[in-house]
Structure 1
Amino acid sequence: MQNKNIIITGTSRGIGYEMALQFANAGYNVLAISRKTPQILIEHENITCLPIDISDENQLQQVNEFISKTLKKVDVLIHNAGSLLHKNFTEITTQEFQNIYKVNVFAVAELTKICIPFMEKGSHVVTISSMGGIQGSMKFAGLSAYSSSKGAVITLSELLAEEYKENGIAFNVLALGSVNTEMLQEAFPGYEAPLSAKEMADYIYNFALTGNKYYNGKVLQVSSTTP
């Protein structure tokens, strides 16, 4: 039985769901955070599910309480949850723009704040970003809110890596290319991505456990296509 504690957001489906199962099946203690909780995750002996909305700062305090009372320490934090909006820029309301940032940026910052006091030397924070957030990469019309938010968390991670390097906490970003998830299909119906959620989850699983030995404050582009 592994004694590492893994926190993953966005575990109701797709990559987050696959990662939660993979870590749990390998014997790690998993805290799975998502608004909806699949029954298979609820029933797994190594998974604790918190059905909360991470864009709500008050609900995030449940994570703080659970770590304080149960986990005591956090070894790996994976910011996987994301909100995607495919809409022309001039048609996006201020509220819609804010909602994207609440999930993709502000929740990442708040959850990281909660976890840092429980992280020791060797801990790893992995933020899942997008190729759309990489400066100079090809951009796609209709993704102004989403891609700009993914660029924001890249910079945030780089700054936190510098701020907490003396603590031995590593912060890295994986900028993913297209993955065949439900979220992608909802935004781009009919588009077939080259990688499945399970295949990408396998990569992130290994990187989360070992990537901090080789990287800190880095952005790795994980895309099999050009662009």
Structure 2
Amino acid sequence: MSKRIIVTGTSRGIGIELVKQLAEQGHQVLALSRNEKPCIDLKLNNVTALSFDLSSEEDLSKVATFIEKEWQTVDALIHNAGALVNKPFEKLSAADFQRVYEVNVFGVAQLTQAVLPFMNAGSHVLTISSMGGVQGSAKFPGLAAYSSSKGAVITLSELLAEEYKEQGIAFNVLALGAVQTEMLEEAFPGYQAPLQPDEMAAYIANFALTAHKFYNGKVLQVSASTP
């Protein structure tokens, strides 16, 4: 059965693979990214690509308007977009922290607020976090802003799972280890990951469509390796 799924961060890496795989499975996909061209270039009938900035109120209302006019309901929201700054802690500015948190935390919260009115019992909000955001996991220098933001969305998802459980809307988090993406290259230049974006996208797509029956308020560590 065809589902209506929103994916963020769809211009590259895992995000664009998610769009391709979900569309090939026959689902309707709303692809949100600052650069919408890669998804438009896919020329898939069941994909709508919108230029979208997570920190823009105007863009958030654009998404709500689209859902209202075209879909009415949303079955799954996949928060895949992420911002990363790799700098020694003493060189991180307030603006660096702001930029990372704006996408990885505030953007996740605001887009969730915009989409929730269109979600019914049985729908799923899935946030892609990182092993770096998991308490007790290996931590790496230079990623203070990024990893702390990824820890914040884990707690946010746990809270929302509790707040919306009576409505039957599930909130879960996948904390990813190393996947060979452009973002991994920014964090760990030269490192070769054991997984490719299409492999991880297949796992995430299946989880987004099925896991709300089994999990709510959970953080699953999806990690063959952390560098």
Whether the 8 Å CA contact 2:31–2:39 is kept in 1: the answer is no
Pick closer, same or farther for the CA change 1:226–1:100 going to 2, 3 Å: closer
1:39-85 Cα deviation digits (max 9, x unpaired): 45451101000111112232221111111111110000000000011
Query: Which amino acid in 1 is paired with 2:190?
Result: G
* Alignment root-mean-square deviation, CA: 1.2
1:116-161 Cα deviation digits (max 9, x unpaired): 1100110000000000000111100100000000000000000000
Whether the 8 Å CA contact 1:21–1:41 is kept in 2: the answer is no
Whether the 8 Å CA contact 1:57–1:107 is kept in 2: the answer is no
Structure-1 separation of matches of 2:21 and 2:91: 40
- Aligned residue pairs: how many? 226
Query: Which amino acid in 1 is paired with 2:117?
Result: P
Task: Kindly indicate whether residue 50 of structure 2 is the aligned counterpart of residue 50 of structure 1.
Answer: yes
TM-score by length of 2: 0.96
Structure-2 separation of matches of 1:14 and 1:33: 14
1:8 alignment partner in structure 2: 7
Unpaired segments of 5 or more residues in structure 2? none
Query: Which amino acid in 1 is paired with 2:141?
Result: A
Compute the displacement of 1:182 (Å): 1.1
Query: Which amino acid in 2 is paired with 1:132?
Result: G
Whether the 8 Å CA contact 2:104–2:153 is kept in 1: the answer is yes
Structure-2 separation of matches of 1:98 and 1:14: 23
Structure-2 separation of matches of 1:170 and 1:181: 28
User: What SS does the corresponding residue of 1:179 show, helix, strand or coil?
Assistant: coil
1:209-220 to 2 correspondences below 5 Å? 209-220=209-220
Compute the displacement of 1:172 (Å): 0.2
Identity %: 63
1:35-114 to 2 correspondences below 5 Å? 35-39=34-38, 41-42=40-41, 43-114=43-114
Structure-1 separation of matches of 2:182 and 2:176: 15
Structure-1 separation of matches of 2:28 and 2:135: 36
Compute the displacement of 1:30 (Å): 0.2
Structure-2 separation of matches of 1:222 and 1:3: 26
TM-score by length of 1: 0.96
